[in-house]
Amino acid sequence: MVQTLKFSEVSKHTTTDSCWMILYGKVYDLTTYLKEHPGGRSIILENAGKDASVDYGLVHPVDFLDVLLTPEQMIGHVTMDDDADETVAEKPENQQQTGSEVSSAAAVPPLKSILSLAEIESHAMKQMSPKAISYYVSATDDELTKAMNSQIYRSILLRPRVFVDCTECSLATTILGNKVGLPIFVSPAAAARLAHPVGEAGIAGACSRFEALQIVSQNASLAPEAIVSAGPDAVYGWQLYVLKDRAATERTLAQVRRIPAIRFLVLTLDAPFPGKREADERFKAAEVAAGGPPQAWGTESALTWKKTLDWLSRHTDVPIVLKGILTHEDAYAASLFPAVKGIILSNHGGRALDTAPTPIQVLLEIRKFCPQVLDTIDVLVDGGIKRGTDVVKALALGAKGVGIGRAPLYGLSIGGQEGVERVLEILADETTTAMRLLGVKNVSELNPRHVNTNALTSRLFDGPSGLDEVERELQLQLKL
């Protein structure tokens, strides 16, 4: 029987031994969940004994509670004490409150007058709250990998051809068997409502206009059903983190199976532990529980090739994509598993291991050591894209698609869905221009002869391929 609890009683349960929280009028016992929360226990303890509905709604959809928690963890409804001044938030119907401390923002010029992603980022920094900036912008340690993700494209030269009729130029292509209007996709990024109340629905609407691909973050701030319904003409993938609570992950997979618009799963592997993002940590310093660790990571760190892929295959019928591949050896290994239909070369936007290689370096090493991978599975790159020329360079080297993560969030912050549309429009126009100037009429015509990568030769791995060792290690698993 569900009990009714006084607010004063709930407020007593604020420790690791007994941690209760009010969410939308219900009381949840989160004591056992503290160790499993992917974002660490400190943020839960900070809100223990309180009504955390507003803060929760910034980063999670309401129905995500049904995925994360078991029915037994909902222990009752809350009622206010007779002399209490507190109010309890009701479950929102459209979840439009943001609760973010958005600064007094400078006026944004007409979106059409903004001509580059750099300009969009500059305006976004004047619009977003300190919390959003610290979360979106931060990268690990000295942020070298984040910087290199973009800088490395400057070392690749384009080789234009002449006397080619490029009056007509199409960006349409196919990614994982899905026809899309752009070779540019939106990478998964959490908590879009920190940027704008419309959240991921605004990104979906923008992608729908361009018939583009959006990979929805597992940590989206809106329910997946609400996101895909906002963009009926977009293509969707779903980012998956495997949690230490495997049952919670399986509940997520069951939810995703009921949404036919989600065409594939993206198993994220590039952040088994959190990187040291100093800007984000400084902002969160006040949230760290007294005497506790800064973060207790809730994602599963014990994943292995065959065991994990076999488990995941039992819970989905859609293609599996592995995100976070950063060596040619792992790219080759992925191609040996029939369940894997694609990989995303990604260093988590520089937010995991600093001085890790950039996606372009890994793509070049795949071409050097195991080019057959490009014919076996779809290879996507994610990170560092600032210009259409960057898109063209990645496609010419064999990428099937190019992901952008922060830029859509910046666009969202300055104009909602229209801001994201402007981001995609700028990149699409720049990519089309670059293709025409190269003498290319469609994406499939781009090839390595359109680029000169000699300046990067010394920055590629120069040891033995190691593929024989990869095969030996995996062969036994593949036969089991």
Give, for 123, the enclosing helix (H) or strand (E).
helix 117-125
Position of tokens 């300055």? 414
Position of tokens 């290689």? 357
Burial of 31 (0-12, 13-18, 19+ CB in 10 A): middle
Instruction: Please tell me the distance from the alpha carbon of residue 48 to that of residue 411, in angstroms, as a whole number.
Output: 34
Nearest to 169 by CA among 356, 451, 438: 438
Q: List active site positions.
A: 241, 270, 348
Which region, left, alpha or beta, applies to residue 436 given φ > 0 means left and ψ of -120 to 50 means alpha? alpha
Instruction: Please tell me the distance from the alpha carbon of residue 342 to that of residue 444, in angstroms, as a whole number.
Output: 18
227 near 193, Cβ under 8 Å? no
162 near 369, Cβ under 8 Å? no
Nearest to 98 by CA among 24, 188, 22, 191: 191
Burial of 56 (0-12, 13-18, 19+ CB in 10 A): buried
Instruction: Please tell me the distance from the alpha carbon of residue 262 to that of residue 28, in angstroms, as a whole number.
Output: 30
Bridge partners of residue 27, in order along the sequence:
22, 76
Beta strands per DSSP E along 182-271: 184-186, 213-216, 235-240, 262-268
33 phi/psi in degrees, rounded to 5: -80, -15
Give, for 22, the enclosing helix (H) or strand (E).
strand 20-23
The dihedral through the CA atoms of 438, 440, 441, 444 has a sign that is negative
